[in-house]
Amino acid sequence: MDCWSPSLSVDDEFQKLALRVNPPRVTVDNGSSRKATLIKVDSANKRGSLLEVVQVLNDLNLIIRRAYISSDGEWFMDVFHVTDQQGNKLCDDGIAERIQQSLGPRARSFRALRSSVGVQAATEHTTIELTGRDRAGLLSEVFAVLAELRCNVVAGEVWTHNSRMASVVYITDGQTGRPIDDSERLSEIKEFLLNVLKADKDMRSANTAVSVGSTHKERRLHQMMYADRDYDLHSADSGSASDRSKPLVTVENCADKGYTVVNLRCPDRPKLLFDTVCTLTDMQYVVYHATVIAEGPEAYQEYYIRHTDGCPISSEGERQRVIHCLEAAIRRRTSEGIRLELCGDDRAGLLSDVTRIFRENSLSVTRAEVMTRGSQAVNVFYVTGASGNPVTSETIEAVRQEIGLTILRVEEDMYSKSPPQESGRFSLGNLFRTRSEKFLYNLGLIKSCS
């Protein structure tokens, strides 16, 4: 139960008033840059504004090439250089309106939920949340249980990292196509799924709860894995091949300005900025200034942050925790293995059958995205060998023959490449400070930290 504080309530009301008096201003500029569309956001400052803007861009599947962010004081200004998935400028006039709605006084806040197995009835589906220890065949067992209980999976997403698994799955009744709201049946579903999660005696999977609200799916997955401590290095079974993809993260204090400076460098990929901003926000840090450069194979991010109490990081333990949590946030979505795309007619038990075939051919699913478009199932699976080894072409062809050559396509994961192996300290500021700070300084947004 959340604690109520008079001061927090007054702050919330002040923020709502400020947004009504000074509503967000969003401009979409296609003339200033030859390569990208500039999205400029000006608004009264409130906690979580940056995440809400990045979340909208993320949901629109836009690629953020650069970003300059400042939110020090009662106002914030963000500038994003974005393109579509093909690298082209944007032409959708609805983007500005969507961002304005996300920041307006009536925008829904995103509440962190605490549950390992949760079930929530919604207007069109019932939401199931699962966290537990990852193991070979786990996803196959989960989908088999849902099929046996006459549940139709309409969408969902599964992440694995550091021997842990988290999933958000949307289901309906297999006969009526409506959400499942019968409390007795929901309890039965939870009990069976919990038995699957506890099959290897993993006590960290033993908690169950019914969700009391909803949140953004991908943010919820970050929250679930963070709560499950997938960032804890001691929870890993061994130093796996994924160690090769470890991002480079440094955290240092800028003592004269009272900030903590976080520098991050890793291979670029879609939704990277969302993953890092989401993690900092849920760890109760506020981003005051940031610069993001992602115009090549690598991405560079620099954040000037403080804890929500206004203090910079004050201990070595906290510094290490921020590093480990950011590394985990980046790697959760960076799946090694082969990308399999399944597109075909949807039917009851499809996911149960497909994941069973994966298991029978010694394939392990490291990440999955499931959706239904009309009568069509559009699913993406990232698979490795059951022990983490590379998958042979013979195995893939055997799976395709069994599932159907015309509906299962193969594409190697383009985001599983290893980053540069050099070690040591680095600073995005040293690389890009002149251009980025000159840009922000000319806007009157920051003063130099040097």
- Clarify whether residues 24 and 88 are in a common domain: yes
322 CB-side CA count, 13 A: 27
Q: How confident is the model over 12-26, as a mean pLDDT?
A: 60
Global pTM value: 0.83
Q: Based on the domain organization, do 275 and 345 belong to the same domain?
A: no
| Tens digits of residue pLDDT in 70-116 | 987 778 899 999 999 999 998 866 787 877 777 765 554 433 333 45
Least confident piece of the model among 262-266, 276-280, 388-392, 411-415: 411-415
CB 415 within 8 A of CB 288: no
pLDDT at 240 over 90: no
> What's the confidence (pLDDT) of residue 418?
40
- Considering the chain, what percentage of its residues have pLDDT values greater than 90? 52
Is 142 inside a domain boundary? yes
- Mean pLDDT, rounded, for 323-340: 91
Per-residue pLDDT, 377: 94
Q: Are residues 243 and 302 in the same domain?
A: yes
Helix, strand or coil for residue 377?
A: strand
CATH code of 369's domain: 3.30.70.260
Q: Is residue 220 part of a domain?
A: no
**Confidence tier at 144 by pLDDT (50, 70, 90):** very high
Instruction: Provide the pLDDT for residue 83.
Output: 94
Judge if 257 and 301 occupy the same domain: yes
State whether 383 and 326 are in the same domain: no
Are 55 and 176 in a shared domain?
no
* Domain annotation covers residue 122: yes
In a domain, 232, yes or no: no
Q: List Cβ neighbours of 184 (8 Å cut-off, separation of 6 or more).
A: none
Residues 126 and 149 placed together within one structural domain of the fold: yes
pLDDT at 91: 82
- pLDDT at position 415 is 43
300-328 per-position pLDDT tens digit:
999 999 999 999 999 999 999 999 999 99
Tokens of 316: 């070595």
Domain assignment present for residue 371? The answer is yes
Domain identity same for 211 and 347: yes
The residue count for the chain: 450
Per-residue confidence at 424, pLDDT binned at 50, 70, 90? very low
pLDDT averaged over every residue in the chain:
81
Question: How confident is the model over 375-400, as a mean pLDDT?
Answer: 91
| pLDDT reading at 261 higher than 80 | yes
Is residue 251 assigned to a domain? yes
- 360 & 211 share domain: yes
φ/ψ of residue 44, rounded to 5: -60, 140
Question: Which of 188-202, 301-315, 388-402 is least confident?
Answer: 188-202
Exposed, middle or buried, 381 (CB in 10 Å: 0-12/13-18/19+)? buried
Q: In this structure, are 126 and 80 located in the same domain? A: no
* 244 and 314 belong to one structural domain: yes
Instruction: Assess whether 404 and 433 both reside in one domain.
Output: no
Please indicate, yes or no, if residue 227 is contained in any of the structural domains: no
Count of domains for the chain: 2
In a domain, 450, yes or no: no
204: pLDDT strictly greater than 50: yes
| Token pair in block for residue 433 | 């400070």
> Does residue 351 contact residue 372 with C-beta atoms inside 8 Å?
no
- What residue numbers bound the domain in which 169 lies? 117-215+334-412
Tokens standing for residue 357: 């075939």
DSSP state of 31: S
